[in-house]
A = this chain, B = another copy of it.
Amino acid sequence: MAQPNIVLIVADNLGWGELGCYGGGALRGAPTPRIDQLAREGTLLHNFNVESDCVPTRSALMSGRHPIRTGCLQSVPPGLPQGLTRWEVTLAQVLSQAGYAAAHFGKWHLGDIEGRYPSDRGFDEWYGIPRTTDESQFTSTVGFDPSVVDLPYIMEGRRGEPSRQVKLYDLDSRRGIDEELVDRSVAFMQREVGRGTPFFLYLPLVHLHFPTLPHKDFAGRTGNGDFADSMVEMDHRVGQIVDEVERLGIAQDTLFIFCSDNGPEFRAPYRGTAGPWRGTYHTAMEGSLRVPFIARWPGRVPAGRVSNEVVHVTDLFTTLAAVGEGEVPADRPIDGVDQRAFLFGETEKSAREGFIFYIKQEMRAVKWRDWKLHFYWEPEVNQGQGKLESPYLFNLTRDPKEETDVLVFNTWVLGPVLKMIKAFNDSCERSPNTRPGAPDPA
């Protein structure tokens, strides 16, 4: 098969340090044998980088562009403008035009109005939540007033039809949703196999987003509480997809990717861990930037390989488009780069050396090789010191926890970093950014 099937599983708020293959697993009271096995069969990245949180990363993945360009700067409640405008070209559109059947089962978070649902944006079908999982708490909150906010629903839709509400998204359906997502994913793959066309299964799981509540079959499984039970469930869900790919005999024809959308949660009792890195999502620390990433494609992606090369979530857009022989838009800046040569082991080097990192409207930091320059300092969420008059420079090899500013000894690093910023700013001048909440073009 020239065009492989693509299975892309994205966990929610899964920090770098949680999985067994990243030093967590049993230490976190939650062994993850299925994902660990996937890592042994494929390539595991130590330096896969994402945006600051959910909407920014998912928009970057779907568009190949940094959120500052697309206006997808943050999560917003239902009833307020949000999501990717229809001017953006999604990965699903690209692959669909290249002949892929495309399905989305899970959390979208890139638009919750007609015209912006997954089935309006390149997917043939979808099932899941249009926004996010905090909302599953709404209806069980003391004092909740349904007259002032839209109720959250699990929804579904098909290409060319309006999406519809399926059921309330509450604590009960939150516990059950990942099972449903996997069931639908399995059914989708079963339907698609043998049609002679490849498929793109985008499965953004709801685990481990807060409230991190496991399916009833997993409640109490570990003896280490809801978070560990949920992680064990997540590992099981990934294993179910792996098993079905195997059972269908398509493992050799399937690029299988598992990653996370952002760093760990910071809020107790759902606080996660980024392992050796400092910080959580919503910061510019390595614990926010780096998340798990595993890719498996037997015979194509080297097995048992571990790399610390810098890769960025926008690269997934460009690389998967290229793998699927799709066409990337040429009329706008695309931040993702084609990582096929690196992913397939033809080179040990990533196709990029660094990237810029925004939180909302602020350029917080730039990573370049194993250096990071911070323009703002907020090592823990809401403990920020604001903009730095003199930026902090850290060497991430020698100082992985970003503790000792060494700019004074290494000002040469400013050259390449500031050139990256200039190139980025120039590109924004040539192709202006979309403001947050912008309507779709006429």
Give min CB distance, A231 to chain B, whole Å. 11
B-chain residues with CB within 8 Å of residue A28 when the two chains form the complex: 397-398, 400
Cβ proximity bits A212-229 to B, threshold 8 Å, 1 near / 0 not: 000000000000110110
B-chain residues with CB within 8 Å of residue A276 when the two chains form the complex: 17, 23-24, 27, 273, 275-276
CB atoms of B400 and A273 under 8 A apart: yes
Give min CB distance, A328 to chain B, whole Å. 32
Cβ proximity bits A65-76 to B, threshold 8 Å, 1 near / 0 not: 000000000000
CB atoms of A401 and B268 under 8 A apart: no
Q: How far is the CA of A283 from the CA of B269 in the complex (A)?
A: 25
Q: How far is the CA of A275 from the CA of B22 in the complex (A)?
A: 11
Cβ proximity bits A284-323 to B, threshold 8 Å, 1 near / 0 not: 0000000000000000000000101000000000000000
Of B27, B269, B275, B404, which contacts A308 at CB under 8 A?
A: B27
Of B228, B400, B401, which contacts A398 at CB under 8 A?
A: B228
CB atoms of A26 and B403 under 8 A apart: no
Q: Does A271 contact B (CB under 8 A)?
A: yes
In chain A, residues 380-418, which have Cβ atoms closer than 8 Å to a Cβ of chain B? 397-401, 403-404
Q: How far is the CA of A273 from the CA of B276 in the complex (A)?
A: 8
CB atoms of A23 and B275 under 8 A apart: yes
Residue on B nearest A225 in the bound complex, by CB? B398
16 cross-chain CB contacts under 8 A: A17-B276, A24-B276, A27-B276, A27-B397, A28-B397, A28-B398, A29-B370, A29-B397, A224-B397, A228-B398, A268-B404, A269-B398, A271-B399, A271-B403, A273-B276, A275-B275
In chain A, residues 252-284, which have Cβ atoms closer than 8 Å to a Cβ of chain B? 268-269, 271, 273, 275-276
Q: How far is the CA of A418 from the CA of B343 in the complex (A)?
A: 54
Q: Does A352 contact B (CB under 8 A)?
A: no
In the complex with contacts A23-B23, A269-B404, A29-B398 CB distance below 8 A: yes
Q: Does A46 contact B (CB under 8 A)?
A: yes
Mostly, the A contact residues are loop
B-chain residues with CB within 8 Å of residue A227 when the two chains form the complex: 398
Of B27, B46, B275, B370, which contacts A46 at CB under 8 A?
A: B27
In chain A, residues 194-233, which have Cβ atoms closer than 8 Å to a Cβ of chain B? 224-225, 227-228
* Interfacial residues, chain A to chain B (CB-CB below 8 A): 17, 22-24, 26-29, 46, 224-225, 227-228, 268-269, 271, 273, 275-276, 306, 308, 370, 397-401, 403-404
Residue on B nearest A16 in the bound complex, by CB? B276
A23-B275, A224-B397 are known contacts; what are 5 more A-B pairs with Cβ within 8 Å?
A: A27-B397, A27-B400, A29-B397, A29-B398, A228-B398
Give min CB distance, A210 to chain B, whole Å. 14
Give min CB distance, A221 to chain B, whole Å. 14
Residue on B nearest A29 in the bound complex, by CB? B397
B-chain residues with CB within 8 Å of residue A26 when the two chains form the complex: 306, 308
Q: How far is the CA of A17 from the CA of B274 in the complex (A)?
A: 13
B-chain residues with CB within 8 Å of residue A22 when the two chains form the complex: 23
B-chain residues with CB within 8 Å of residue A224 when the two chains form the complex: 397-398
B-chain residues with CB within 8 Å of residue A269 when the two chains form the complex: 398, 404
B-chain residues with CB within 8 Å of residue A17 when the two chains form the complex: 276, 400
Residue on B nearest A404 in the bound complex, by CB? B268
Interface centre among A26, A227, A268, A276 (most CB of B within 10 A): A276
Give min CB distance, A45 to chain B, whole Å. 12
B-chain residues with CB within 8 Å of residue A225 when the two chains form the complex: 398
CB atoms of A271 and B404 under 8 A apart: yes
Give min CB distance, A109 to chain B, whole Å. 27
Residue on B nearest A30 in the bound complex, by CB? B397
B-chain residues with CB within 8 Å of residue A399 when the two chains form the complex: 271
B-chain residues with CB within 8 Å of residue A403 when the two chains form the complex: 268, 271
B-chain residues with CB within 8 Å of residue A370 when the two chains form the complex: 29
Give min CB distance, A345 to chain B, whole Å. 17
Give min CB distance, A18 to chain B, whole Å. 10
